Chains A and B, each alone.
Chain A
Amino acid sequence: MTDPRFNDPLTRRQLLRRAAVGGTVLSLPALLAACGGGSAASGTTAAATAGGKPQLKDVLNFSNWTYYIDTKKPTTFQQFQEQTGVKVNYYEDVNSNDQYFAKVQGPLSQGKGIGRDIFVATDNSRFPGLYVSQEWVQELDKDLMPNFANLVDAQSSPPFDPDRKFSMPWLSGMDGIAWNEDLTGPVTTVSQLFEDPKLHGKVTVWTEMGDTLGLVLLDNGDDPSKVTDESFNSALERVKTAVDSGQIIKFTGNDYVAPLAKGDYAACFAWSGDVAQLVVDNPKLHWGVPEKGGIIWTDNMLIPLGGDVPTASTYMNFAYDPKISAKIAVETTYISAVKGVKDEAVKIDPDAAKNPLIFPDDNILAQLHQNDPAMLNNEDYVTKWQEVQGQ
């Protein structure tokens, strides 16, 4: 039986009225775009400045992890725009190194761009090395980067880019264990995390293989920077056992943060900066490097194919100004790789400058290790790691 409503044809007036509604919806994006937001497409070249300086684009497109940038006004991006006239379109669309790689490998493998001038990859994954070896990233223009000299010595020669031709550190962070004091006493070892019955069903670890297995390897007394099949398998077994017993209930990216603060998780593997931001909301949270040692990693800025090298290099140079880097480090509570940042940080916030999460002292640094690139690149390991996650 046909619905009697359908027998009424739309009168012209009704159709026009509804089209008008549709029309306003049609113009909504145009309205929004006009209201101050620029379009996301790469801009045209700005007029060349006098004195032979390179032409910079109007717009810099930058992909990064979430909550990895300062937000207090004037933001460093606003300051950059004032200095150079370049507007930064900042996309927080890096959730995991693997997923980002999967997103961009298509166009990059064909020599095409990805609509970005800078993106970021973590050194304790196989990806920075892969990007470089596949020649999917462009060389930095060091002539535009006098601040390159501000790079701390410890970061001057990473294995995937020994001459720092393609990458510059963005921020570094530490792997450790966080716990909620309302739900448990201090959790200081991986063993406790995986085996304490009080924590059953309230523990999470990362999806990132380097981070999670790195900590477990250390807890086993093995060296995360020189991994053998044996040490890998025994670390993997421990994780698998904890998952099967229901101790570990999730493999997370950054998404352990809210449930930990909320009390859904009692303790978990956590990144140093996240917890520092969490303490504002929940002072019951604590973070520490595990007794047997932690992992330190660095996110690196890279210029993909199709990105504008002068504009990107200019930005990187800007980010290596200690004042700028200090603001970013203080607000994100991660570790900067720029010399002289501590002095600048004190001027912004004396308390933050004393924060060991942002400025770890030598004691802490001695406990931190880096991952073995060979382990990260081993396909077999990667498959086994996915299986433990139920995938």
Chain B
Amino acid sequence: MSVQTPAVPLARARRRAGLWTLVKRHVLAAYALLVVGYLMLPIVVVILFSFNAPKGRFNFIWQGFTLDNWTHWDAILGIRPAIITSLEVALLATLVATALGTLMAMAIVRHHFVGRSTTNLLVFLPMSTPEIVLGASLLTLFLNTTAVFQLGFWTIFIAHVMFIISFVVVTVKARLIGFDRHLEEAAMDLGANELVTFRKVTLPLIAPAMLAAALLGFALSIDDFVITYLNAGATQTFPVFVWGIARVAVPPQVNVVASAIFLVAIALGLGNVFSQYRAAKRQRQGA
């Protein structure tokens, strides 16, 4: 009996494999879409109900479409100061934390010094401490030093910088590790001193990572509830405000502000996605 040529069973096997891969491919994509739906569901609900026109004070049954909530977003007492405080703290804290964190990242990656692993650990610790402990311990510090620190805007700012620094360090470190030192050496060979090199070579190259870290820090700050709640005293940020008003019912204006933050963030994100898509396209065409 002659040996059957492998072509036939192989072809059948390949076709079967093809069918199976096709199914798998689509199953995975279908799954991905389901998960995306699950992720977006509450967001859709939030945005949808920002356009609701409730008769009374409670916004959970759809009663009619209106743009009033968007035009009169600050009709709820206290919402405006809360969101302003949130934005101010986030901006300030992000700036300071990014600066401090980048410096630390540079030190850790580029220099070997005594205490390097301890520093690594110290940076890692806040990220691995539950927020309730971070907030509570900071509160303890502030309560014991009320001569210097009074609960309010600046204590919130301090707390936010504290927990953002670690994230900045980690993000920038990741970029610095892959950094090509030769570029700096080349600059210095061409006569630039260290400061100029830093300004003209290093900084632009790590800028994307710093920006990413800053955006992450900003998002963390705007969204933070637990640490802020414990250390805000009588001041309110937007999440603290929401917690307060959720004790009765969440008015549509809260949905409006939350949706607005979301849409701005998404717009920036989409802009970034789009510009990267274009950059990738350019690279493919140019290469």
A–B direct contact (CB < 8 Å): yes
Residues of B within 8 A of A9 (CB): 204-205, 207
Is B244 within 8 A of A26, CB to CB?
Answer: no
Is A10 within 8 A of B204, CB to CB?
Answer: yes
Is A21 within 8 A of B204, CB to CB?
Answer: no
Which residues of chain A in 246-277 are interfacial with respect to chain B, using CB atoms and an 8 Å cutoff? 253-255, 257-258, 261-262, 274, 277
Q: How far, in angstroms, from A28 to B143 measured CA to CA in the complex?
A: 33
Is A258 within 8 A of B249, CB to CB?
Answer: yes
Is A107 within 8 A of B150, CB to CB?
Answer: yes
Is A67 within 8 A of B57, CB to CB?
Answer: yes
Smallest CB gap from B147: residue in A:
A110
Point out the residue from B57, B74, B142 that lies within 8 Å of A106, measured CB to CB: B142
Is B56 within 8 A of A280, CB to CB?
Answer: yes
Point out the residue from B85, B240, B248 that lies within 8 Å of A255, measured CB to CB: B248
Which residues of chain B in 190-240 are interfacial with respect to chain A, using CB atoms and an 8 Å cutoff? 204-205, 207-209, 211, 232-236, 240
B151: interface (CB < 8 Å): yes
Residues of B within 8 A of A63 (CB): 234
Interface bin, chain B: 35 or more
Interfacial residues, chain A to chain B (CB-CB below 8 A): 2, 4-6, 8-10, 12, 15, 18, 21, 25-26, 28-29, 32-33, 37, 40, 63, 66-67, 69, 71, 89-93, 95, 103-104, 106-107, 109-110, 112, 114-116, 253-255, 257-258, 261-262, 274, 277-278, 280-282
Q: List 25 A-B contacts (CB under 8 A).
A: A4-B283, A6-B175, A9-B204, A10-B207, A15-B204, A18-B211, A32-B83, A32-B87, A37-B81, A89-B81, A90-B77, A91-B236, A92-B77, A95-B243, A103-B234, A106-B146, A106-B233, A107-B146, A109-B146, A110-B147, A258-B248, A258-B249, A278-B58, A281-B57, A281-B58
A25-B87, A37-B74, A91-B81 given. 20 additional CB < 8 A pairs? A6-B209, A29-B87, A29-B88, A32-B83, A33-B84, A37-B84, A40-B81, A66-B245, A67-B248, A90-B78, A104-B233, A107-B146, A110-B146, A110-B147, A114-B233, A115-B235, A257-B249, A258-B249, A262-B61, A281-B57
Interfacial residues, chain B to chain A (CB-CB below 8 A): 54-58, 60-61, 74-75, 77-78, 80-81, 83-85, 87-88, 91, 142-143, 146-147, 150-152, 175, 178, 204-205, 207-209, 211, 232-236, 240-241, 243-250, 268, 276, 279-280, 283
